[in-house]
């Protein structure tokens, strides 16, 4: 059956999604990484595409299939993710779900060898904040959504993050329980209007709910 326009409220819209972890090389054979399966971000890309959006998914290293109809750009490091995101703009909305490593390593060109002496020290350098860069840049999408994984003071941290990063919305999730790699998520949607706490639900349902909210928001501001 033909899909009605009502079923595809994001038709003609471009939405950019980041998902997964980033890997930051230590040397050619080692890396440090953030914990993320990419499941929530991929589910959001899928839900947005189902509502008719053209979706660009910038994905860190994950083992997940590309959702149907989604354009996927694979990256490894935070700096590669930042470049891919800049290259994918402009967009009507950006949803930054990736667990970006906050620091990269001053990497060695050759494999670091055990030499019987002291363990090597890693020098860390702060990575660019992709969300803040997009939210304050010249190509700012009409709607910028960030995620915030927190282990305590979830809502307070999310409210502060929303202001600091100039995001329109922050989806805050409590990662003190078994979110990572799991199938369910409990989130709070923090907007200019306040905080909405959603019941714990499958990541696909979080994705569907968020995609519908994004469609509503973009319809309200053409």
Interface residue list for ligand CTP (CB under 6 A) = 18, 78, 96, 98, 100, 102, 127-131, 146-149, 161
- Residue 44 contacts which entry, Ca ion, ligand CTP, none (Cβ below 5-8 A, type-dependent): none
The answer to whether 119 and 143 have CB atoms below 8 angstroms apart is: no
CB of 43 to Ca ion, least distance (A): 21
Residue 151 makes contact with Ca ion by CB under 5 A = no
Active site residue: 34, 127, 173, 185, which one?
A: 34
Residue 216 makes contact with Ca ion by CB under 5 A = no
195 - beta bridge partners?
190
Is 34 annotated in the active site? yes
Q: Which is nearer to ligand CTP, 8 or 83 (CB)?
A: 83
Q: Which is nearer to Ca ion, 45 or 101 (CB)?
A: 101
CA angle, 185 then 186 then 192, to 5°: 125
CB of 149 to Ca ion, least distance (A): 8
Q: Which of 110, 103, 128, 100 is nearest to 30 (CA)?
A: 110
Residue 35 makes contact with Ca ion by CB under 5 A = no
Phi–psi pair at 151, nearest 5 degrees: -105, -15
Q: Which of 100, 87, 95, 96 is nearest to 21 (CA)?
A: 100
CB of 126 to ligand CTP, least distance (A): 8
Cβ atoms within 10 Å, residue 6: 6
User: Which positions are annotated as active-site residues?
Assistant: 34
């Amino acid at each position: 059956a033909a899909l009605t326009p009502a079923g595809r409220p994001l038709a003609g819209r471009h939405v950019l999604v980041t998902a997964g972890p980033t890997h930051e090389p230590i040397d050619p054979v080692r890396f440090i990484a953030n914990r993320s399966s990419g499941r929530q971000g991929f589910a959001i890309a899928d839900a947005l595409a189902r509502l008719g959006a053209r979706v660009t998914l910038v994905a860190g290293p994950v083992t997940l299939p590309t959702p149907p109809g989604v354009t996927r750009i694979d990256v490894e490091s935070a700096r590669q993710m930042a470049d891919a995101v800049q290259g994918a703009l402009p967009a009507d909305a950006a949803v930054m779900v990736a667990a970006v490593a906050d620091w990269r390593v001053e990497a060695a060109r050759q494999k670091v060898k055990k030499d019987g002496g002291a363990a090597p020290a890693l020098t860390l350098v702060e990575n660019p904040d992709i969300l803040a860069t997009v939210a304050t840049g010249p190509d700012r999408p009409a709607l910028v959504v960030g995620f915030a994984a927190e282990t305590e003071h979830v809502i307070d941290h999310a409210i502060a993050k929303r202001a600091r990063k100039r995001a329109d919305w922050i989806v805050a999730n409590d990662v003190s329980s078994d979110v990572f790699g799991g199938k369910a998520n409990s989130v709070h949607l923090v907007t200019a209007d306040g905080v909405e706490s959603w019941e714990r639900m499958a990541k696909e349902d979080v994705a569907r709910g968020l995609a519908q909210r994004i469609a509503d928001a973009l319809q309200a501001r053409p």
